[in-house]
Every structure is written in C-alpha cells, then in structure tokens.
Amino acid sequence: FHPLGWPKVGSLHGFLAAAGVPREGRERVPIVLADERVVWVAGLRVAEFARVEPRTRARLRLDLVHPLVADAEL
C-alpha cells in the first residue's frame, strides 16, 4: 500500500500501526479495493495512485458513515 503523501510503498499492517490503529482493531478497518489494489483505507488515507489530479476524468466519492477508527473501543 502506498498512502497518499507517504514517500514509499509499505505494508498495510505497517501503515495501520503508524496510523495508531491498535492491533486488535485493525481487522475492523474497512478497506476499499479496485482490481485487488488498496484504494482507500477508510477513514485514514487514500492510495497515491488514486489521487485526484487535473487530468482525472472521473471520480467516485465514498463516505464513511460510521467511522470505526475514531471509535475508542477499537
């Protein structure tokens, strides 16, 4: 996974740890995929390859209605 704004590709596990998501809550963080690539770690970060740029022709807006990451019980 290459998070937007991060210098390099890393593991999803490493990203979630760096984002402060507790180990026991990581399996509950929604992950959006496109063609088996992580596009969005819901509530945290979009992938670098999915960034919206001036040349972007189409986009899809997804909203996380009940953010799990902010939940203190993670």
Q: Which amino acid would we find at residue 25?
A: G
Q: Which residue has the tokens 């992950």?
A: 31
Q: What are phi and psi of 47, to 5 degrees?
A: -75, 150
Q: What is the pLDDT of residues 13-37, one digit of tens each?
A: 999 999 999 999 999 999 999 999 9
Q: What is the pLDDT of residues 37-48, one digit of tens each?
A: 999 999 899 999
The C-alpha atoms of residue 68 and residue 26 are separated, in whole angstroms, by 10
The C-alpha atoms of residue 35 and residue 63 are separated, in whole angstroms, by 20
Question: The pTM is what?
Answer: 0.78
Tell which residue, 54, 25, 59, has the closest CA to residue 39: 59
